Amino acid sequence: MRTVNLSWRQVEELSRKLVKNVRASGFKPQYLVGITVSGLFPVALVAKVFDTKDVAIVSARSYSKRRQGKLKVTALPKVDLRGKRVLLVDEIADRGTTLKHISKILKTHYKVGQLKTAVLVVNKKNCETWPDYYMLTVDKWVVFPWDSRS
C-alpha cells in the first residue's frame, strides 16, 4: 500500500495553517473538542496556537490495523457546551464517518451553538463527509509521526 509519511515538523506547520484558516474565516471557537487517540496530537497543537486550555475530549475508535470497522464511542466530555462555538478536531477524515457521528452527538446531546470541524488531512478518494477546515488532501494511507511503526 502506498503511504504518505508526515513528520512532526509537517504536522506542526499544518496545525498552524489550520488555525490561520479558521481565524481567517471569522470563526472564533470557545471550545475545542479532540477525538482520541490520534486526534489528541492535532487538538493539542491547535490549542497551543489558539492559546486556549478550553479543550474537551471524545474517545472514539473505528480503526484496527488499517481496517475501518464500526465506530465505537467510549467516552464523552463532561463539560457544558450548550450554546458554545465548538471546533471539533481530528487528524484525518478518511470517510468522514467519525466527524459526522461525533458532530451529531455534539449538536443533539450537547446542544452546541455553532459547530465546525477541522482535520489536518482528508482522503479525497474515500471521504463522504468533508470537514469545514482541512489542510492536505491525499489518496494514500497517511502515517503520522505518532503512529506505531510495527
Q: What are the residue boundaries of the structural domains of the chain, listed by start?
A: 3-138
SS3 23: helix
Q: Residue 150: pLDDT above 50?
A: no
Q: What angle do CA 84, 49, 20 make, to 5 degrees?
A: 80
Phi (first) and psi of residue 108, to 5 degrees: -85, -45
For residues 134 and 122, give the distance between their C-alpha atoms in angstroms, rounded to a whole number: 7
Residue pLDDT, tens place only, 56-98 = 999 987 655 555 667 788 788 999 999 999 999 999 999 999 9
Residue pLDDT, tens place only, 23-49 = 999 999 999 999 998 899 999 999 999
Lowest mean pLDDT among 35-39, 68-72, 114-118, 134-138: 68-72
Q: Residue 120: pLDDT above 60?
A: yes
Please report which residue ranges of the chain form alpha helices under DSSP H: 8-25, 40-50, 97-108
Q: Does domain 3-138 have CATH number 3.40.640.10?
A: no
SS3 55: strand
